Structure 1
Amino acid sequence: MNDSFAFDPKRLTVSSGTTVRWVNDSEVGHTVTAYADGIPAGAPYFASGGFESERAARNDVSGGLLAAGEAYERTFEVTGSYDYVCIPHEGSGMTGTVVVE
């Protein structure tokens, strides 16, 4: 995350089995939260903070915040497109996509 309110890159394409690492390099706290309806069928849900659903992540935003310098990792096994958001900055358009081939 280079820009304080954007994922960089906004769209990332990886091979199945790849671990993606998000690092917060801004001074502002951010989340990495999958949209429940934005991941492939059969793929496990993901969110910083270890939440098992989008609702749980939205109900405890502070529990998923990555402070400056903190990171979140996820290994993607199921092919398809995964849309995600930073909950506190969703209104600023802070969304991203991981495409797994």
Structure 2
Amino acid sequence: MDLPNPTRRRLLASGGSGLAIGLAGCLGGRDDTAAQDEDDPEGETTGAGNERGGDHEHGSHNHDHDTDHEIGQPVSEITVEMITNDEGKHFIPHVVHVEPGGTVEWVLKRGAHDTTAYHPDVYNGQQRIPDEAEPWASDHLSDEGATFERTFDIEGIYDYVRAPHERDGMVGTVVVGWPDPEGQPGLETPADDRPDAAVEGLERYNEQVRAVLEAGPDGQSSTEAGHDHDHGHSDGSDHEH
């Protein structure tokens, strides 16, 4: 049974709306890691595994972007900026948390970017979205203000990438609802064939997401809750704090 595609896109800069989904041409798999880009015309960054790409410390800067949206407080809709700046190429915020049925809108602020799910159907590489979820791959967005929008109905962890800039660590994560961390492809160890900068980012985001999910909506892990509940009562008394 064909599932409805939850993705819809709008190119505000060109005045278009309701454009058709462009996944059909991507279903054979996509490997853009060595491609040159409109915002990288000189080809200064090359394919995965090169020294420049491998040495790029995307997560080493003191970015404030990770705190722009607090994981653990899911929202119904949120905007993620796609930007090229002096520090590199980024999705901002890097990690967002939405409710089931929530919408994420990616908007191009500077450069030329796309947003593509980590899934073999749309990008050659490791699957890092829920098994039952449908992957997405936006068009290449080059006009400032252009957007791509997707609604996330299935609870889980969704990792995604800017295809040609994976080598620069341009990856992001969408958390939907409060999934059990166990069994989530998006929380697995990144594949060895991914560029170092992407692996570094994914591992860092994984750590943040896992900590929040294990703490739960009340912000307290089951272990901590049990410790607080039993604290000071080892003698069986009914002492009230």
Would you say same fold, with TM above 0.5? yes
1:2 positional shift: 5.6
SS at match of 1:90: helix
Q: 1:32 aligns with which of 115, 120, 127?
A: 115
- Superposed CA RMSD in Å reads 1.0
Higher percent of residues as strand: 1
Distance 1:2 1:74, change over 3 A: closer
Identify the residue that residue 55 of structure 1 maps to in structure 2: none
Name the structure, 1 or 2, with higher relative contact order (CA <8 Å, separation 6+). Answer: 1
Q: 2:150 aligns with which of 74, 81, 91?
A: 74
Structure-2 separation of matches of 1:92 and 1:38: 18
Structure-1 separation of matches of 2:149 and 2:158: 14
Structure-1 separation of matches of 2:109 and 2:90: 11
The CA deviation string for residues 51-80 of structure 1, in whole angstroms up to 9 with x for no partner, is xxxxxxxxxxxxx21112100000000000
Identify the residue that residue 163 of structure 2 maps to in structure 1: 87
Structure-2 separation of matches of 1:73 and 1:7: 14
Structure-2 separation of matches of 1:23 and 1:2: 6
Structure-2 separation of matches of 1:43 and 1:66: 24
Structure-2 separation of matches of 1:73 and 1:99: 15
Structure 1, unmatched stretches of 5+, are 49-63
Identify the residue that residue 47 of structure 1 maps to in structure 2: 137
Structure-2 separation of matches of 1:17 and 1:2: 22
Structure 2, unmatched stretches of 5+, are 1-80, 120-126, 178-241
The alignment's TM-score, normalised by the length of structure 1, stands at 0.80
